[in-house]
Chains A and B, each alone.
Chain A
Amino acid sequence: AQTVTQSQPEMSVQEAETVTLSCTYDTSESDYYLFWYKQPPSRQMILVIRQEAYKQQNATENRFSVNFQKAAKSFSLKISDSQLGDAAMYFCAYRGPNYGGSQGNLIFGKGTKLSVKP
């Protein structure tokens, strides 16, 4: 069974600084997808960034980027120029190959609570 591990229950960063959130996963699949979701106090699940396993290039979305190490099964999120609005719970999630809807569900890590200090 696939598992996702986030080893940092809480992290803190100074405004405008950079922070990296860690995530490791375990799977026997070669084709899969990885995601980082942000959950602010409103509890809305917001997609931050996604990575397809077959792509070697690390995904980037504005201030958010990932370091995807497929062999090490590691998928860390880097937030640059941190802003107060980045404070939230961040979940790393895995999704297997999706054929006709099957195996399309997400498996989440336990989450990392990020605090941003002004």
Chain B
Amino acid sequence: AAGVIQSPRHLIKEKRETATLKCYPIPRHDTVYWYQQGPGQDPQFLISFYEKMQSDKGSIPDRFSAQQFSDYHSELNMSSLELGDSALYFCASSWGERAGSTEAFFGQGTRLTVV
């Protein structure tokens, strides 16, 4: 079965650079969530999209932006990178309004290292 695909799997950037993380949800899933997991931390919700519109916003810095495209894939754009942005970034997808839908499926994550 198709899973959530994230690319790249690993990314190394220097401070003040820009990074773009991509997420391809499971086919027919209309909702995408982004989470940030720092070292030794629990995942923190950043932002979500439903049917290509932003649906919820969590603790996402102003330096970050995201969008969901017509094919439902999503991109997280991170600018002016800081050392503290080094983390594992997860994308998850689900059916947004499907009755009975309860779970989100996670991708394998993108490990971002800022040096």
Contacts and interface: CB of A to CB of B under 8 A. Distances in A.
B100 to A, nearest CB: 9
A33 interface: yes
A43 B97 contact: no
A68 interface: no
Contacts, number: 78
A108 to B, nearest CB: 4
B27 to A, nearest CB: 17
B56 A102 contact: yes
A107 B44 CA distance: 7
Chain A contact residues (Cβ within 8 angstroms of B): what range?
A: 20 to 34
Interface of B: 30-31, 33, 35, 37, 41-45, 48-51, 55-56, 58, 88, 90, 92, 94, 96-97, 101-106, 108-109, 111
Interface string A85-118: 0000001000100111111111111110000000
B96 A109 contact: no
Contacts of B43: 45, 91, 106, 108
A47 B93 CA distance: 13
Given A91-B42, A101-B55, A103-B56, A45 B106 contact: yes
